[in-house]
Chain A
């Protein structure tokens, strides 16, 4: 199996800046850089992870452990301070519900905009449009402004677009908690289907039951370091043990 995601010794430090204006920065420089204008901390430290094509990986850990940050490095939103991140093929992320959706546009316009943002060509979107609408169960509301959608509808449309981008790597960050039971089931089925088609999945979720159903491998992050990498049951066990 070819490698899908290869992360080697990834470090990411964030600067907690306390000021954002030139005046304050200049004053700080003039005062001989006294006091801390910025404080650095490591959000990811020495993270190495190789994921084969078609693997299903649950990324687990407490809030602030660096899960979202790691996904953002895989999608290219963030760049490493040290180490390398390499991927094969197209990434689609559901990092947050409806990122790239505009409330003042209709569902239809948003499908085009979001599909295009996620890397689909015009032709691909046109081909997939009906299927996207069908999957989302939005029906006639597709020409209504998205601001009038319920959060469930919002999620369904966002998810429908994302699964139709035909990504090679699919990143899911804590979004499946939204939506009603039947749609969650449908999403899980779709995710499984994607995986059977050989897509790589990386899922962040606090819903252990869901994660157990979808993922085989489990990786646990703690303060930006990988502390456990094995089966999903082992990972959940590690977390439960504290």
Chain B
């Protein structure tokens, strides 16, 4: 090394390459901005709307009533004298799963669009881009709260007395689903910049999600119709774990006789669900940071 180049290096102390992010860690560092982005989203969405945030109560309630009448009464899935094989207290069964799937659907679909939607900003100013999918998930979490209120009220009306274990499992179930949405949101949010097909693919995925988890029917049907192996695969889906956790916490304490949890649910499947979701987040993080360098030019 020559003297000339070393003096140049002295001048260069403290120089950093701009535009390299530390991924989700940067999001933690930008908590205030995250909060502002979430506030913005909530304010903008309900701007000029009379009912405002009340819509997030009305929409799931209507969805619930429609499903309940169509599936519970017309198709006879609710347990009754004529249909002893049905699920008891089907309304709560359905609703506890639906709120979680609603959260997942909104979270993933908004997160997948978030980078393209915020393209104008991403093209002009450098900031941790993971903020956008994460804030989309967060906003969905806020919309999830009113649905939880409705669910808890409905549960209390039907004699709900959950145990601490059940409540803890619900929290874990939610966490598993939120992590899954975050990971997939990072993946599809990034891919969507390059291929707008990603949005449509996600819409399709979400349509399948409702049916690929025990929201409308009981997990025992999978075992009885498709066998043990199919059940194992079915349980690998973190959504299944999340929904069953919610059934465990909200529906089972209100129903007299239930099919119970799938075998080794709490000891094996919940931890597996958590691990799968965390792996998806890590994969999302990896893919996102691979692709984000070219966001500004591709948008």
Contacts and interface: CB of A to CB of B under 8 A. Distances in A.
Contact of A96 (B11, B43, B124, B197): B124
B126 A75 contact: yes
B33 A117 contact: yes
A14 B121 CA distance: 20
A210 interface: no
Interface string A63-86: 000000000111111110000111
B293 interface: yes
B127 A20 contact: no
Nearest to A122: B32
A95 B44 contact: no
Interface in B26-51: 30, 32-33, 36-37, 39-40, 43-44, 47
A85 B125 contact: no
A172 B54 CA distance: 44
Contacts of B15: 3, 6, 86-88
B12 A3 contact: yes
Given A78-B296, A95-B124, A102 B32 contact: no
B83 interface: no
B125 A99 contact: yes
Q: Which of B12, B30, B125 has the most CB of A within 10 A?
A: B125
B123 A77 contact: yes
Contact of B124 (A21, A91, A100): A100
A95 B40 contact: no
Contacts of B121: 99-100, 117
Interface stretch (A108-116, A134-142, A228-236): A108-116
B297 interface: yes
A93 B126 CA distance: 9
Contacts of B33: 113, 116-117
A122 B30 CA distance: 10
Contacts of A6: 12, 15
A105 B43 contact: yes
Interface residues of B, number: 36
Nearest to A119: B127
A93 B43 contact: no
A112 B37 CA distance: 10
Interface residues of A, number: 40
B293 A79 contact: yes
A68 to B, nearest CB: 10
A3 B11 contact: yes
A77 B19 contact: yes
Contact of B44 (A74, A91, A102): A102
Interface in A9-52: 14, 20-23, 25
A79 B19 contact: yes
Interface in B102-123: 120-123
A20 B195 contact: yes
A51 to B, nearest CB: 11
Contacts of A160: none
B18 A113 contact: no
Given A84-B17, A87-B16, A88-B14, A109 B40 contact: yes
A104 B12 contact: no
Contact of A104 (B19, B39, B47, B127): B47
Nearest to A112: B36
A86 B16 contact: yes
Contact of B32 (A74, A87, A121): A121
Given A21-B196, A112-B36, A116-B33, A104 B44 contact: yes
A177 B171 CA distance: 55
Given A116-B33, A118-B125, A121-B32, A88 B40 contact: no
Interface in B282-299: 293-294, 296-297
Contacts of B17: 76, 84-87
Given A3-B12, A88-B15, A77 B40 contact: no
Interface in B194-243: 194-197
Q: Which of B36, B37, B40 has the most CB of A within 10 A?
A: B36
25 contacts: A2-B13, A2-B14, A3-B15, A20-B194, A72-B296, A75-B19, A77-B19, A77-B296, A78-B297, A85-B17, A86-B16, A87-B17, A93-B124, A93-B125, A95-B124, A99-B124, A99-B125, A100-B121, A100-B124, A100-B125, A104-B47, A105-B43, A109-B36, A113-B33, A119-B127
Interface of B: 11-20, 30, 32-33, 36-37, 39-40, 43-44, 47, 120-127, 194-197, 293-294, 296-297
The 3 closest A-B pairs by CB, nearest first: A76-B19, A76-B18, A86-B15
